[in-house]
Structures are given as C-alpha cells and as structure tokens.
Chains A and B, each alone.
Chain A
Amino acid sequence: MRPEIPDHPGPDASSPQFSDLEEALLAVDRMRAGRIIEAACAASSPVSCIETLIVPVLEEIGEMWEQGQVALSQVYMSGRISEEIVATMLPPGSPERITQPKIAIAVLEDHHTLGKRILLAVLRAGGYEVTDYGSGVTVDSLVERVLQDRVEILLISTLMLPAALRAKEAVTRIKEAMPEAQVIVGGAPFRFDADLWKETGADAVGRSASDTLTIVRGMAGAVVS
C-alpha cells in the first residue's frame, strides 16, 4: 500500500507539460518525454508527478486509441517509455509503489502478448506492482496460481474467441474459492462483441489500457479502503 506522503501539487491536465508530454510520447521521443517529466516534476514528489501528469496523459492516449485517433503501436510505445521513466523515479520495490491490493495478469491460452505488455507498462507507469503470469496460460494453471497467491485483482488478456469464452471457467472457479477476487477481462473478442464479457462472469471489461487502468484504480481504492 502506498504510504501517506505530504506533497506539493503536480501539473494539471491544462498545463503545457500535459500536451507536451502527450506529443512527445506519441512521437516516440524518449529523450523529450524524459526532459518534460523531469522539469514538470522537479517541484513535486514522484507519486504526485505520476498521478497528476503521467497517468492522465496515458489515459488520454488510451482514449484517443478508442476513438481511432492514434494507433496501438503509439499506445504501446507511450506505455513503454513511461514505464522506463517511472522505474527511475520509483524503482521496483520502492516503498512508494502500490503493492496492495495484489494484482496479477495473464494471457489465457495464447502467446500473443502485446495486450499484456501494454497493460503492464501502463499499470507500472501508474505506480502499481503487477505480477506477470506470462502467456499461454491454461485455465487450470491460472486458477491454481491466483488462489495460491491470493490475487485480489486479476486481469485476463485474450486474443481469440475460444480463449475469451474459456475465461468463464476461470472466473467461475476463482470466484467459487475466492468470492472477493475481482476479475477484469480484455482483448479483441470483447471489443467486437460488446456484451461478451458478461458471459464470462467477470466484474469488468477493459476496452483499452487506459480504461483498464481506471477500473483498476477504482477497484484498488475499494479493496484497500
């Protein structure tokens, strides 16, 4: 859990840094993005900087993808660059990283990992610690690991329809054993059929990385409060 830290307010969404960072990330300009964040965050703590600048910019980029205004590659590269910068501000294991609730992610029955990679980058850029269960994960193995690790928020990424349908079995078994666990499903089949996620019994569907980040923030707040 993130400790309470007295803080100076960071930049807000109307600040020039916001649009500058967005532009730098969409242009995949690592150096410029690093300079903007360094300058913008000089007067605030890393946590404040992440929450008031980096996360909102990533959320905006995710929304632009949902509206067809930017490409998936830009969402991915923005997340990767932000993740790298945040790792220097809040190194893994840093006490300011958000370790509660326990979050994990897996690609169910598939080795296409881009969706998971984007989510990991965006969540880690948001300061969250996330356990990566990898790709090609079967229902049996996923259920076993989730129960063993007492995961509180699970993200299931899928690419093909059969895996999306199989998520139902995973969700059912996890919730039978741990009713308090929250599950978010995502991936292409859920975009092409807006109601498909309801069949899985999941608590939510993440339609983009930023959407998922918002959902995780809401769930995390509820779990730890």
Chain B
Amino acid sequence: MTGEMTPAERTAVTMEFEEPDRVPLFLLFTIYGAKELGLSIRDYFSRPEYVAEGQMRLQKKFGGDCLNPFCYAAVEVEAWGGEVIFAEDGPPNAGLPPIRSPEEIESLEVPLVEESPGLLFGLRTIELLKKQVGDDVPIMGSVVSPFSLPVMQLGFDAYLDLLYGEPDLFWTLMKKNEEFCVEWANAQVEAGATAVGYADPLASPDMIPPDLYRRTGFVVARRTIPRIEAGVATSLASARALPIIDDLAGTGSVGVGVSAFDDLATVKRQCAGRLTVLGNLNAIEMRRWTPAQAEAEVKRAIAAAGPGGGFVLSDNHGEIPWQVPESVLMAIAAAVRKWGNYPLDWVSG
C-alpha cells in the first residue's frame, strides 16, 4: 500500500503484525470533549450529539486514529441501580455500591440494554459517529468485564471477601454479569463499534494472584470474549499485564492495554504475533510534562514496541485526564508523526 493510510487501515495493518505507514495513535478522550465544547462535564454528557461532536473535533485537532464514545465506567453500574457522581474536573464516578449485601446476588435481575438510559446514550453516540466516519476511523466500544464490574457493584473490599469466601455466590454473579456484558458489547457492535475494549483491571497480578485469576476471571473472560462479535482488546486500566500475557492471549483477546509500570519492550516480545500492544504513556504524569518530555516519551515507547507492527501508541489507562494541557497532546501528536513513520530506521536492534 502506498500513500497515507486511513486510521482504520493503519490500525488494521498493525493488528496483523505488519508495519503500516506509521504507528497508530489512540488518544482516548472521555471528558476532554467537554473542554473542547466549552461545556461542563455534566452538560456534555446530557446529549449524545455533544459527545459525538467532541470526539470529532478532538480527532481532527490532534489527528488521533480512533474515536472513543465511551463516557464513563459508572454508566454500567448505573444500569444495575447504582448512582453516578459528577465532578467538575474529573470523570463521573460510581457512588455507593448498589448491592448492599452478597445475599442480594441471588435475586439480582440482569438489566436490559434497551431499558438503561445511560447505555442507550452510548449506543446513540456510536451511531452518530459511525454516520460521520463510516469505516475510515475505528470506533472503540467499551465494556467493564463481568469479573471486574463487582468492584463497583459491591465495593472492592466486599467483592474480595466474596471472591475468597463465597464461591457459589461469586459464580452466580459472574453468570449474570456475563449475560449483561455480552448483550451490552454486542449492542455497541451493532450500533457501529469497530472493536470493543474489555476493561478487566482485577485480572492484573497487581490486584489478585495469577493462580486465583486463572481459576476465576480467566474462566469468565474465556466464556465472555468469544461471544462478542468484534475484536476485543483487554485493558487492565493502568495495572500491570506482563505476568499474565499468556493467559490474556488465551482469552480470545486480540490486544492488550499496558501499564506504565510494565516494561514495554518485554511485553511486546511476549505478545509477538498474538496480541497487539496498546500503551503505555503515563496519563497521570502527563499533566506536568513539557512538550520535550512528551516527545521523549513517545520516542521511548515507539522504540520499545513499534518495530514489526502490533503496536498502538496510547496512554496507559484509557483516558486522557482533564488536567493534561493541550500543548502536551499536540507534542504527542507531532512526535508520533516525527518518530513513528515506518520503517523505523532510527530504532537500533
């Protein structure tokens, strides 16, 4: 292929473990679009048209290679009866967990997507974006994994108590969450999502021991991911992935989001030919980078994981914080165009 590729072509080629025209850049904006439109975060999330417009403007401004209609993770727990708390300068957050005691799990009803306003909002946003970009720009759908969702459904500590102490109730909850997750993911695919991000931070060895993951979250992922009718990339939301790369490759995932605490070059070697690597710019530190630091970080990541394709430059969490200055994002966008053009002759070894 000659000339400049579309974002979709660029991403597809790298996911085939070949080198496209340059390293794809996924700037995963969520609340940042509100800033672009001059709206409060609450107002921004009041109409799908605002979110779609925010995504389009940001894609044009920074030249990213994907659109990210994902609004906030708490939208899923809202469907299960939880509350969402809005902030002025941060992502809307989950309030108190809706499941107050494990005994409620047995009688818990799986919410229907078509009856959940927050989820319908997400689907409408995807439809609006799809209408504008067609097949030229990948649209990332998002789900929280059935295994990690209980952190918001029950609270993290109560969920760990369940995981260690109530295996029957744990598996009952997983069954319900799996049904919800598959329905929600496939609704996004039907609305126009090109691929689906599967947020599973609890899978990380930072959170639970790998042997426990293999007996629980891995089993859940292997049952869930193959039922999703699009490519799935697993994100551990800033937590380390390296020690369980082989497991993640066995879930049916085609990509993995990598932590700033992971060694990117080692992850890339481990993933070779099996999983596309997304990462791993430190989104928290990013708010106080200089443009020169941003360029150096981009260069470091491309040198570590760019050769041979199978790499998408992104942040390590899946969200660009409100506090990151535009100058840093501009520097990242410029650096990927300066250092990310294939072949990467400047990378030694």
Q: Identify the A interface with B (CB < 8 A).
A: 28, 68, 70-74, 76-77, 80, 109-114, 117, 136, 160-163, 165, 188-189, 192-193, 196
Contacts and interface: CB of A to CB of B under 8 A. Distances in A.
A117 B93 CA distance: 19
A112 B161 CA distance: 15
A162 B90 CA distance: 6
Contacts of B250: none
Interface residues of B, number: 38
Identify which of A112, A113, A161, A196 gathers the most chain B CB atoms within 10 Å of its CB.
A161
A58 B161 CA distance: 19
Interface stretch (B133-141, B202-210, B267-275): B202-210
Contact of A28 (B155, B164, B321): B164
Contacts, number: 82
Q: Is the interface of B mostly helix, strand, loop or mixed?
A: loop
A193 B284 contact: yes
A113 B156 contact: yes
A114 B91 CA distance: 19
A83 B323 CA distance: 39
Given A73-B164, A161-B321, A188-B238, 9 more contacts: A71-B205, A77-B164, A111-B93, A111-B97, A136-B85, A161-B90, A162-B88, A162-B90, A193-B285
A162 B89 contact: yes
Interface of B: 85, 87-91, 93-97, 151, 155-157, 160-161, 163-164, 205-209, 212, 238, 240, 260-261, 282-285, 287-288, 321-323
A114 B156 contact: yes
Contacts of A114: 155-157, 160
Identify which of B156, B163, B238 gathers the most chain A CB atoms within 10 Å of its CB.
B156
Which 8 residue pairs across A and B have the least CB separation, nearest first? Answer: A162-B90, A114-B156, A192-B284, A117-B157, A73-B208, A193-B284, A193-B285, A71-B209
Contacts of B321: 161
Contact of A110 (B93, B207, B323): B93
Nearest to A162: B90
